[in-house]
A and B are shown apart, each in its own frame.
Chain A
Amino acid sequence: MSPYEAILLTIITASTPLLLAAIGELVVERSGVLNLGIEGMMVMGAVCGFAAAHVTGSAWLGVIAATFAGIATSLLFGLLTQTLMTNQVATGLAITLLGLGLSGLIGSGFVGLPGVKLANVSIPWLSDLPYVGRLVFGQDPLVYISIALTVGVAYVLNHTRVGLIIRAVGQNHASAHALGYRVIAVRYACIAFGGATSGLAGAYLSLVYTPQWIENMTAGRGWIALALVVFSTWLPARLAAGAYLFGGVWILGLYAQGMGVGIPSQLLSSLPYVATILALVIISTNRRLSLINTPASLGQGFVPDR
């Protein structure tokens, strides 16, 4: 394997959890809900995925467990914000803190134990092609799932009635309610989807990236995913590009440091946020951009009037 191939492979590995977590949050935010609990949902996915895989010996069961752990954590967020009408920002932060703490508790018996790695896809002949074989045909399954999810979300949001309803609910929940759409139900479904992809992102960390359980192993990736959604101006294609850009910058920075180029690591880790702030500035100066994609009722709770 050439060094370039190795760099590209690590970039994809670094980017996939960001993409997985962010594509779910994009749908959540398009429906008008701001879930700041990605980090918590991810880390719950990571620990439950690792535990299930370790106990059963099956990485796939781990992936499924992680998905359901993410959904369960997100539904707690949904219950609090959609049914009990708590503040979304505060609740999201609480979910993050809860997830980090609870995962530490669940995972205390799994620290240092060997994990199960999700096997890479191997297609005879294709995966052995020079240069592109490993890169295109030999990734782990979650990479393909993340790309399929991105394409699927883009299609559903823009070309299907379900997507139209999600966008309508996120734009103006009062009008959507007046037309007879079940705002709270739509939001619950989107929140659960966001939980599922965050759980998958967590599984990626504990079953692919580093197949073991380390406390707080999400290491702020949930926040980067959150920043990515804003950076992408809520567009799936731009989101994918942003995920690979953020992942790429991160990995290239590591390589650069390895080769002795003096870039402070703090500067690198702040880069996604700097990019997001720049994106926000650009969005707010462009009326149409902010108009078309920004969910107008983002973060506002919806209380039906009767």
Chain B
Amino acid sequence: MLHKSNNDAQSTLLQVKNISKKFGDFYANDTLNLSIETGKVHALLGENGAGKSTLVKMMYGALQPTSGSIHWQGQHVSIDSPAHARNLGIGMVFQHFSLFEALTVAENISLALPAQLRQGDLSQRIADLSQDYGLPLNPAALVADLSVGERQRIEIVRCLLQQPKLLIMDEPTAVLTPQEAQALFSTLRRLVEEGCAVLYISHRLEEVKQICHDATILRHGKLVAEVDPQVETAATLAQLMVGASVHQVSRDANDQVGDVLLELSHLYKGSSTPFGVDLVDVNLQVKSGEILAIAGVAGNGQGELFSVISGEECNPNQNFISLLGQISDGLNINQRRCLGAAFVPEERMGHSAVEHLSLTDNILLSRHACIDTESSLDLGWLGIDRNQLAHLNKVIGIDYDVRKSKEDAIAGSLSGGNLQKFVVGRELNRQPKVLVINQPTWGVDAGAAALIRQAVVDLSRQGSAILIISQDLDEIFELADTIAVMSRGQLSPTYAAGDLSREQIGLMMAGSHERSAQGSGA
């Protein structure tokens, strides 16, 4: 810290000194120091819950520090609101965009701009600036019609219109295809050349190595290291973030591939919600002992596909879906479970698990309908055998390392990673023959993610067919035997994992395999 501020005090834009933030008795940030320099991309690294968001919210005025100070261009400032931060020249692109779907691009931007920047022809300035930076946007377009990447452009253009000196980006590539991410990086490089500073929050270490000049690493609210990301390797960065070396998922070659256990053939399904995606001619096969991963940017029909395969939406009189050799379109989710399938949806809270119910009650919810011989859970017709549920809860807790405040805790009291381990454990404990799992490790820390991935691999090697839906290419390459890509409700053909590069997957995410896209493009 010291040598830096001595060398180039001129270029220090924002400095955070001994800042702490307490929520109750819990220190989300504990005496952190950080300095950001003009013309550099500064990475802020850490696992979920490490305190990155808390720190950034204090810089952006959305939270007030419990103690410590913030210095902007050498002056002590107390940033009391996001508007104040914007006036200073701090812009922020949030991970979850604060956009209004039913309003146009220009209206959205106008809402977020201070009065003096709204004068004149805002639409024209939006169009000009977005062209200039290679972020094409139509100011009159309705946000609801735009892709996630385009929505992010709105946020970036909105920030750029205010000519920020510091741009904070919270996990900006989490929702982008690799190609979109590269385009974002060139915009960032140009901004930095123009003298802007960027604070880049991420847990994708390769990216950080690619574009960042400095890196600050947080763990459990404390600063653990300030490093030069160009010198470090992804492995050493990961080690600093986690505090221990991360367990590598071990995966044998799948030489035990057997019969097709899950098959979709020419599946069509119109969306049942206003903003949903229609599924068009989806074909896939998953064999015993095989893991098929479906890659794709969120919101391209993965949720719809999951609900059709799981039976949350059943379609009697169709025969698109075959589970363990039986046409299953008309079966509801419990009937499909009884065939030997298990499902883990994307949303932990409210979909996989009920927040206010205890863990044993949550076990009951997904397992009450079928008498499982494997786990000898026999709930019977009358009454619920609490002892049996408690035993099962204990087994899942031990097998999947679920950390909880008490044995039969309320689901809502578990942290995200632990709840996900519980939910996955609840389903895997049945030894399902077919497992469909949507975003298995979304928002889960590295340790829990490794445990879940290993459990999924082990299940497949015992002869189950597994379908993973994921946005995380690292995860897909770590787990998948075969890969298919989803975009706008269409699924690409399935490829062996070794035959695909990240770039090819990126192109398919952007729709290169779509039939209608090829037709209209010609």
Query: How far apart sit A291 and B143, CA to CA, in the bound complex (Å)?
Result: 11
Q: Is B111 an interface residue (CB 8 A)?
A: yes
B275 touches A291 (CB 8 A): yes
Q: Is A179 an interface residue (CB 8 A)?
A: yes
Contact of A290 among B63, B83, B94, B274 (CB under 8 A): B274
Segment at the B interface, from A126-134, A167-175, A189-197, A267-275: A167-175
A175 touches B98 (CB 8 A): yes
Segment at the A interface, from B100-108, B220-228, B306-314, B408-416: B100-108
Q: Is B82 an interface residue (CB 8 A)?
A: yes
Q: Mark B85-117, 1 if CB is under 8 A from A, else 0.
A: 000000000100011111100010011100000
Contacts of A149 in B (CB 8 A): none
Q: Is A178 an interface residue (CB 8 A)?
A: yes
Distance (whole angstroms) from the CB of B273 to the closest CB of chain A? 9
Contact flag A172-B101 (CB < 8 Å), given A179-B82, A291-B144, A291-B275: yes
A179 touches B144 (CB 8 A): no
Q: How large is the interface on B (under 10, 10 to 19, 20 to 34, 35 or more residues)?
A: 20 to 34
Query: How far apart sit A115 and B63, CA to CA, in the bound complex (Å)?
Result: 58
Query: How far apart sit A174 and B111, CA to CA, in the bound complex (Å)?
Result: 14
Query: How far apart sit A118 and B123, CA to CA, in the bound complex (Å)?
Result: 48
Q: Is B81 an interface residue (CB 8 A)?
A: yes
Contact flag A164-B110 (CB < 8 Å), given A179-B82, A291-B275: yes
Query: How far apart sit A175 and B82, CA to CA, in the bound complex (Å)?
Result: 13
Instruction: Point out which of B82, B94, B100, B144 has the most chain A C-beta atoms below 10 A from its C-beta.
Output: B100
Distance (whole angstroms) from the CB of B41 to the closest CB of chain A? 25
Distance (whole angstroms) from the CB of B21 to the closest CB of chain A? 12
A174 touches B103 (CB 8 A): no
Query: How far apart sit A174 and B101, CA to CA, in the bound complex (Å)?
Result: 13
Contacts of B370 in A (CB 8 A): none
Query: How far apart sit A171 and B82, CA to CA, in the bound complex (Å)?
Result: 21
Query: How far apart sit A287 and B277, CA to CA, in the bound complex (Å)?
Result: 12
B110 touches A292 (CB 8 A): no
B103 touches A168 (CB 8 A): yes
A296 touches B102 (CB 8 A): yes
Query: How far apart sit A176 and B102, CA to CA, in the bound complex (Å)?
Result: 13
Q: Mark B27-69, 1 if CB is under 8 A from A, else 0.
A: 0000000000000000000000000000000000011000000
Contacts of A279 in B (CB 8 A): none
Distance (whole angstroms) from the CB of A251 to the closest CB of chain B? 36
Q: How large is the interface on A (under 10, 10 to 19, 20 to 34, 35 or more residues)?
A: 20 to 34
A175 touches B99 (CB 8 A): yes
A291 touches B98 (CB 8 A): no
Contacts of A306 in B (CB 8 A): 63
Contact of A180 among B81, B94, B99, B101 (CB under 8 A): B81
Contacts of B81 in A (CB 8 A): 180
B111 touches A179 (CB 8 A): yes
B103 touches A171 (CB 8 A): yes
Contact of B142 among A179, A181, A292, A294 (CB under 8 A): A292
B107 touches A291 (CB 8 A): no
B83 touches A291 (CB 8 A): no
Contact flag A171-B102 (CB < 8 Å), given A164-B111, A180-B81, A180-B83: yes
Contacts of A290 in B (CB 8 A): 274
Q: Is A249 an interface residue (CB 8 A)?
A: no
Instruction: Point out which of B94, B99, B103, B142 has the most chain A C-beta atoms below 10 A from its C-beta.
Output: B103
Contact of B112 among A174, A179, A291 (CB under 8 A): A179
Distance (whole angstroms) from the CB of B183 to the closest CB of chain A? 25
Query: How far apart sit A293 and B144, CA to CA, in the bound complex (Å)?
Result: 13
Contact of B100 among A161, A175, A180, A294 (CB under 8 A): A175
A interface, over-half SS: helix
Query: How far apart sit A164 and B144, CA to CA, in the bound complex (Å)?
Result: 17
Query: How far apart sit A174 and B62, CA to CA, in the bound complex (Å)?
Result: 13
Distance (whole angstroms) from the CB of A99 to the closest CB of chain B? 33
Query: How far apart sit A165 and B81, CA to CA, in the bound complex (Å)?
Result: 19
- B83's closest neighbor in chain A, by CB? A180
Contacts of B99 in A (CB 8 A): 172, 175
Q: Mark A264-306, 1 if CB is under 8 A from B, else 0.
A: 0000000000000000000000010011111010000000001
Query: How far apart sit A296 and B63, CA to CA, in the bound complex (Å)?
Result: 27
Distance (whole angstroms) from the CB of B456 to the closest CB of chain A? 34
Contacts of B102 in A (CB 8 A): 167, 171, 291-294, 296
Query: How far apart sit A294 and B102, CA to CA, in the bound complex (Å)?
Result: 9
Contacts of A176 in B (CB 8 A): 100, 111
Residues of B204-242 at the interface with A, using a CB-CB cut-off of 8 Å, are none
B82 touches A164 (CB 8 A): no
Contact flag A168-B100 (CB < 8 Å), given A178-B82, A291-B144, A292-B142: yes
B110 touches A287 (CB 8 A): no
Query: How far apart sit A172 and B62, CA to CA, in the bound complex (Å)?
Result: 18
Contacts of A175 in B (CB 8 A): 98-100
Residues of A30-58 at the interface with B, using a CB-CB cut-off of 8 Å, are none
Which 10 residue pairs across A and B have the least CB separation, nearest first? A175-B98, A171-B100, A178-B98, A287-B274, A180-B83, A292-B102, A179-B112, A172-B100, A168-B100, A171-B102
- B-to-A contact residues, CB < 8 Å: 62-63, 81-83, 94, 98-103, 107, 110-112, 118, 142, 144, 274-275
Other 12 A-B pairs with CB < 8 A, given A168-B107, A180-B82? A161-B110, A167-B103, A171-B100, A171-B102, A172-B98, A174-B98, A178-B62, A179-B82, A179-B111, A290-B274, A291-B142, A306-B63
A selection of 24 A-B contacts at a CB cut-off of 8 Å is: A161-B110, A164-B110, A164-B111, A165-B111, A167-B102, A167-B103, A168-B100, A168-B103, A171-B100, A171-B102, A172-B99, A175-B98, A175-B99, A175-B100, A176-B111, A178-B82, A178-B94, A178-B98, A179-B111, A180-B81, A287-B275, A291-B275, A292-B142, A296-B101
